[in-house]
Structure 1
Amino acid sequence: MSVDRLAPGLAYHVVNTLGWRNLRPLQSDAIEPVLRGDDAVLLAPTAGGKTEAAMFPLLTAMEQQRWTGTSVLYVCPLKALLNNLLPRLQAYGGWLGRRVELWHGDVTPSARQRILTDQPDVLLTTPESLEAMLVGNRVDHERFFAGLRAVVVDEVHAFAGDDRGWHLLAVLERLTGVCGRPLQRIGLSATVGNPAELLEWLQGSGRGTRTSTVVAPQIGGPAAEADIELDYVGSVDNAATVLAALHRGEKRLVFCDSRALVEKLGTALRERGVTTFLSHASLSVDERRQAEAAFADARDCVIVATSTLELGIDVGDLDRVVQINAPRTVASFLQRLGRTGRRPGTVRNCLFLALDKKSLLWAAGLLRLWGTGYVEPVTAPPEPRHIVAQQLLALCLQQNSVGTELALDAWNGLHPFDHGSRPILDHLLEEGFVDRDGELMGIGPAAEKRYGRRHFMGMTAVFTAPPQFRVFEGRREIGLLDPSLLTDHVEGPRLILLAGRSWKVSWIDWARQRCFVEADERGGRARWSTGGLGGASFALTRSVRDVLLGEDPPVRITARATTVLAEARDAERHTVHPGGTLVVREGTDLRWWTWAGFRANATLASTLSSLVDGTQRVNDVSIRIRSDLTREHWAAGTADAGERLCLPEVDDRALDGLKFSDALPHRLAVATLAARLADLGGATSVLAESVRFAQVDDR
């Protein structure tokens, strides 16, 4: 039995306390590589036993090799996920007399002091909290991390796809320097399209020098027994009516693509007498915890959530997952689908409810793409120069003073934090972000002014969140609100929607960004600004095009969805052609229907700037062309375009969303954002296709 390869005390409790006759395939297959010390990525669907696959052999190694001190870090992207994991991991560690503790922003100072005084064997934390431990003066990090041996990165795909991943890699390299040894790195992930590349990325500076293993015994195509249905409902009210009528007596998790939609749907469900809970990032921690705990213990209820519940937070045994409209990626859909079908005799299921014709079309495109077995590759955002600047400043805080020539060695040669980043360091010195005293440098006055509030806490987060007001009912915090709802002109009382309830704003504290509310039954509004570059991918947009050309996703489609899909195909028939792309004149409007996704279209618009109507922004599916363009001009302008692709142009205002961009030379900040807006591969594919010209008669 594979369980016999674990430490005896652990094996005993796996069999007798957990009641497991044996381990799952992933857990069994992970034992040998993890015990050998391999870097690894462990892949399995949601609830596939990834945590145990990593921690059981690590706890075994801890016993066999007599590790002491804090020897394992368990890193998660969400504090809620850490809170959820703590009791389970404390039980596993306790079976061997080992302690597991938690450290993040919500942990009290007294609890942190106990951890510093009596170190646990395993510490659950976030990258931001690790950074704070390294740069703060309350933690003797050289002593605290002296025994560190391994790092488990849960939901590693969620890190790798954005700047938090670059930040995590850089912090791990600095930890390697602090503890004086390479750290074993184990990533836990749901299904991704490129697991080997994800593992190489996770290895950081150890890439190519350390043994690595991908463990993925359950990875395959789309779930063969998944029960997926696509329906069209046309409005939030209709969606609420359907949800209130269907699947009574069952526990349902409903995903929405925005916080405002969560609020609107949650309110509509409560109006129909459905026991409803809400979860999204702008609700207070207490509000979310109460909702998730109540939902976990209840039956015949609904929880409406954004992607906050997409990751592995335990909300009990679900019967159904419902998706309003569609997520942006197949990988996200797989995460959500994996929340169901855990009980014996049940299958994974998901009901898609489209609120409008466009959403129905994109949901069909996503499901068609899923049906091909496609899963998006996880790729780190290119050119993270702003993270390099942040890390140089963090190193100055960590060491107080550091040799100017030695500073760039702190990341063990990991690109882009290596000596190639010297221009960024020179800029920090020139602008006063870093001070120089002979051969040593430390934090400078410009950095203290910009980031020094609350002991440089702003240095530990690598993204810029839109400003929001904290909302209170008396002393109880309810959540966060977009400030535009407090400045819009309204007639009568100012009413808002938050936590699925209506409130009247009674007082606004502009200086402290707080507002106070009281319950009101007259209905309100919900709105939040969205950050990020947005836009659909090339693969998804092309799949939507294939749906328009007649392909159906391999799922059940209701009669009304079939009717609306036929209407969408008819309405868009002039924009798609199986033989290539179309340039269509409709009145005075000339548009190139590329169906290539936002980034590819932005790249094409920049490359073909002499042909493009520069007054219009590109979108996912088309680019507006100059109305006086002729076929001859088109042929001449596109003849060598594939050999001279340009990065998209960047509006300086967009730099506000790139945290630490003000610590970069302006040209490098612009170049960073331009690289992230580009899809050179998608643009090249489009330029290689035939182009047809057509005209739509005015109606």
Structure 2
Amino acid sequence: MTVDRLHPVLVHHLVNSLGWRSLRPLQHQAVAPLLDGADAVLLAPTAGGKTEAAMFPLLTAMEQQGWSGLSVVYVCPLKALLNNLTPRLESYGAWLGRRAAVWHGDVGASARRRILRDPPDVLLTTPESLEAMLVSVKVDHHRLFAGLRAVVVDEVHAFAGDDRGWHLLAVLERLARVCGRPVQRIGLSATVGNPSELLAWLQGTGRGSREATVVAPEAAPAAEIDVELDHVGSVDNAATVLAALHRGEKRLVFCDSRALVEKLGAALRERGVTTFLSHASLSVEERRRAEQAFAEARNCVIVSTSTLELGIDVGDLDRVVQVNAPTTVASFLQRLGRTGRRAGATRNCLFLALDKHSLLWSAGLLQLWAGGYVEPVTAPPQPRHIVAQQLLALCLQEGTVGSRLWAQTWNGLAPFDRSAEPIVTHLLDEGFVERDGELLFIGPQAEQRFGRRHFMGMTAVFTAPPQFTVVEGRREIGHVDPSLLTDRVEGPRLLLLAGRSWRVTWVDWTRQRCFVEAVDAGGRARWHTGGVGGASFTLARAAREVLLGADPPVALTKRAVRALGQIRDEQIATVHPGGTVILRHGGEVRWWTWAGYRANATLAATVSDLVDATQRADDVSIRLRGDLTPQMWRGATADAAERLCLPDVDRRALDGLKFSEALPERLATMTLAARLADLDGAARVLAEPTRMVGS
């Protein structure tokens, strides 16, 4: 039996300490490949036992093969998730006399010194903290990582879809160089549309040279799932519905922005609902208090952004509520998986759409979910700015780097290979890196741009908008956008944070601190977020199918049915089952593609001569010139599919691409343009017939 390959002490504790009668299917199937050293991606829904499926075989290998020192690194995308997992891994390790410890930005200096003096067997951390260890002069990384054998990447899909994934891959290759051996890589993931490709991505340069397997047991017959879609029309109405429904139960409410979390949280508290909040701009202490209180309470609501979408344990939930729509089916599955964990419980989610637009996108998303669709996870293309960051980080890590040897650090992983020579040349030309004979080292320009706080800015690959810390007395509440402190206001300046209103008493502009005192109501919440948004091609087409009459097979309230009917009437001229529509209405000409933002941005760049200069593209349409004729259209689109263009990039957008200043402007612009594009979606639209209607 598979369980016989696990260490007998582990098996004893599974039965006697955890009270398990057997392993779950994922845990059974993971034992053999992981003990045999294979790279793997383990797939299971939220709370599917993925952590145990990875760690029990690794702890067994640790004992059977005599691993010593720090031999397993466990990587998570969130510090809160690390904090949540640490007690479990500490107890599992202790059964075998092994130790686990956590290291991230909130861990104090004394705890870090203990880890460096006497490394644990398992280290829980983030990619940014791994980078910080590699570049720190206080860490002997060759000694610390000498015994490294395996890396577990929890929520690997959350990394792979953005630049943190490229950063993680590069750091893993550097770790392999430091320890002098290939390192087993194990990814834990919720359901994704392309698990084999995700595993190949995770393997990096080990692809094809190491055994690899996707462990994804067939799902048990689906239990009953209760999904309902409602149209409530406003935040106040959403709060009224939440206050009235499911009293006495524990409810987790997801919102698509921090400002909406604050507004809904305040509205619920006004109605006497015990409410907790969680989002990235609340202080660590504030979030911990909320999550702990919520885990212990029953009749309450926690309102959150996606920070609670991943595997952080907030106790046994009764209900999940989604305000408006998440951006992906995969995200919805994560949130749905928060419920139905008790025996006899039902997985459930109530969608509350605040307007008809959100209702349409929610219906489209549920249409995709009902059809079994899950988005593939793909890494963003052309991460040249991460290449620049890694080259600078390598100079910090090693002090000096051979001008002909630097590419060996990443073991040939593209694009961190010799193809990065133009970036190295630019770093030298601009003084980010200097040269002495055959040696490269950090230059004055890098010191000036990134050298604050011992180059801590080098470890994060995203540009965080500036925020002011909000303090009441000695208690830190969280962070707000500085525009809330500079807007012209009549009367006292009031903020909304942690679901409460605060009056600003003093602002320390130099230290970026804002001092407040509590007031009854009237506060405002706002955060500016960068990045490229917009719906995908698949989601936009699903919304189009809803407009054409498809109803998702979920419970629709009477309000939702009525509002869907209204939006179908309003948009009837913009959709056609046989192709796309160019609609002339009231002096405006618009091409209704229903193709998503990136495909539309690509189309707008490709037929730019026909596009209105004042407004280009959105998720569903492109505004065209008012003098457009059928002849002009045919002439511009006849060969458009053969000459697709990347979207134009506003130079100001480069500010949101961290380390873009360490790239030639041309390469930085090309990187952003490639990320704005959807060439396949644009080609599909151009292959469809187009109808021109209106007067």
Map of 1:643 onto structure 2 = 642
Give SS of 2:610's match.
coil
Q: Is contact 1:409–1:419 with CA below 8 Å preserved after alignment? A: no
Q: CA deviation at 1:219?
A: 5.0
Kindly provide the amino acid, as one letter, of the partner of residue 602 in structure 1: A
Partner of 1:659: 658
* Deviation by residue 1:531-556 (Cα, 9 ceiling, x = unmatched): 21000000000000000000010101
Secondary structure at 2:477 match in 1: strand
Answer whether contact 1:251 1:301 (CA < 8 A) is retained: yes
Hey, what does 2:210 align to over in structure 1?
210
Any conservation in 2 of the 1:43–1:219 contact (CA below 8 Å)? no
Matched, 1:94 2:94: yes
Instruction: Name 2:465's counterpart in structure 1.
Output: 466
Q: Is the 8 A contact 2:127 2:171 kept in 1?
A: yes
Give me the whole-angstrom Cα distance separating, in 2, the residues matched to 1:622 and 1:248.
43
CA distance in 2, matches of 1:553, 1:208: 42
1:5 is matched with which residue?
5
Q: Deviations over 1:110-164 (max 9, x none)?
A: 0111111111000000000000000001111001100000000000000000000
Q: CA deviation at 1:2?
A: 3.8
Q: Report the counterpart of residue 181 of structure 2 in structure 1.
A: 181
1:573 alignment partner AA? I
Counterpart of 1:682, as a letter, is G
User: How far apart are the structure 2 equivalents of 1:411 and 1:585?
Assistant: 54
The residue number in structure 2 matching 1:503 is 502
Indicate the SS of the match to 2:410.
coil
Alignment of 1:117 with 2:117, yes or no, is: yes
Name the structure 1 match of 2:630: 631
What does residue range 427-506 of structure 1 map to in structure 2 within 5 Å?
427-506=426-505
Deviations 1:9-49 (A, max 9, x none): 00100011100000000011000010010000000000000
- The 5-angstrom pairing of residues 158-557 of structure 1 reads 158-218=158-218, 225-557=224-556
Give the counterpart letter for 1:657 in structure 2: G
How far is 1:643 from its partner?
0.2
Amino acid at match of 2:618: N
Deviations 1:528-586 (A, max 9, x none): 11121000000000000000000010101011110110001000000000000000000
Measured after TM superposition, the shift of residue 218 of structure 1 is 3.8
List gaps (5 residues or longer) in structure 2: none
User: Structure 1 regions of 5+ residues with no counterpart?
Assistant: none
TM-score (norm 1): 0.99
Q: Could you tell me whether the CA contact under 8 Å between 1:47 and 1:312 is conserved in 2?
A: yes
Q: Is the CA contact (8 Å cut-off) linking 2:401 and 2:441 kept in structure 1? A: yes
Q: CA deviation at 1:403?
A: 0.4
CA contact (8 A) 1:89 1:100 kept: yes
Aligned AA for 2:235?
V
Distance (Å, rounded) in 1 between the aligned partners of 2:435 and 2:10: 53
1:498 CA drift (Å): 0.3
| 2:587 is aligned with 1:576 | no
Superposition deviation, residue 595 in structure 1? 0.2
Structure 2 residue identity aligned to 1:133: M
Query: Distance between the aligned counterparts of 1:601 and 1:282, measured in 2?
Result: 32
Cα separation, 2, equivalents of 1:675 and 1:133: 32
Cα 1:224/1:614, change in 2 over 3 Å = farther
Question: What letter corresponds to residue 141 of structure 2 in structure 1?
Answer: H
Aligned length: 695
Q: Is 518-527 or 660-669 further displaced after alignment?
A: 518-527
Q: Write the distance in 1 (CA, Å) between the matches of 2:4 and 2:568.
A: 58
| SS of aligned partner of 2:359 | helix
Secondary structure at 2:645 match in 1: coil
- Render the CA deviation track for 1:80-100: whole Å, top value 9, x for unaligned: 000000000100000000000
Q: Output the CA distance in 1 between the equivalents of 2:2 and 2:49.
A: 15
User: How far 1:224 sits from its partner (Å)?
Assistant: 5.7
Contact 2:604 2:616 in 1 (8 A): no
SS in 1 for 2:608: coil
Amino acid aligned to 1:312: G
- Once residues 234 and 432 of structure 1 are traced to their aligned partners in structure 2, the CA distance between those partners, rounded to angstroms, is 55
Aligned residue for 2:588? 589
RMSD across aligned positions (CA): 0.9
Cα offset, 1:522, TM superposition: 3.1
**What is the identity percentage for the equivalent residue pairs of Structure 1 and Structure 2?**
76
Letter in 2 for 1:70: L
* 1:599 corresponds to: 598
* Change in CA separation of 1:74 and 1:132 when aligned onto 2, cut-off 3 Å: same
Deviations 1:154-177 (CA, angstroms, capped at 9, x unpaired): 000000000000000000000000
> SS at 1:572's partner residue?
helix
1:155 correspondence with 2:155:
yes
Match of 1:21, SS?
Answer: coil
| 2-structure distance, mates of 1:429, 1:182 | 32
Aligned-partner residue type, residue 593 of structure 2: T
CA distance in 2, matches of 1:52, 1:548: 45
- Specify the alignment match of 2:20 in structure 1: 20
Q: Could you say what secondary structure the match of 2:609 adopts?
A: coil
8 Å Cα contact 2:250-2:298 kept in structure 1: yes
Report how far residue 225 of structure 1 moved. 2.2
> Using the alignment, how far apart are the partners of 2:576 and 2:305 within structure 1?
36
Change (3 A) 1:218 1:296: farther
Q: In structure 1, what is the equivalent of residue 565 of structure 2? A: 566
CA contact (8 A) 1:607 1:644 kept: yes
- Rounded to whole Å, the distance in 1 between the matches of 2:328 and 2:444 is 43
1:523 Cα shift? 1.7
How far apart are 1:220 and its partner, in Å?
Answer: 8.7
* Aligned-partner SS, 1:441: strand
Match of 1:610, SS? helix
1:219–1:659 distance in 2 versus 1, CA, 3 Å = farther
User: Which amino acid counterpart does residue 42 of structure 1 have in structure 2?
Assistant: L
Q: Give the 4+ runs in structure 1 shifted more than 4 A.
A: none
Aligned partner of residue 410 in structure 1, secondary structure: helix
Deviations 1:182-215 (A, max 9, x none): 0000000000000000000000011111110000
Contact preservation (8 Å) 2:370, 2:552: yes
1:235 deviates by 0.7
The more displaced of 606-615 and 2-11 is: 2-11
Distance 1:14 1:349 in 2: 30
Write out per-residue CA displacement over residues 455-492 of structure 1, whole angstroms, 9 at most, x where no aligned residue: 00000000001111100001110000011111111100
Give the 3-state SS of the residue equivalent to 2:415 in structure 1.
coil
- With normalisation by structure 2, the TM-score equals 0.99
Indicate conservation of the 8 Å contact 2:387/2:415, yes or no: yes
* Contact in 2 for aligned 1:2/1:28 (Cα 8 Å): yes
- Output the CA distance in 1 between the equivalents of 2:352 and 2:113: 49
CA offsets, 1:581-612, max 9 Å, x none?
00000021000000000000000000001111
Name the CA distance, whole Å, in 2 between partners of 1:400 and 1:662: 22
Letter in 2 for 1:533: V
Question: 3-state SS of the aligned residue for 2:532?
Answer: coil
Counterpart residue identity of residue 145, structure 1: F
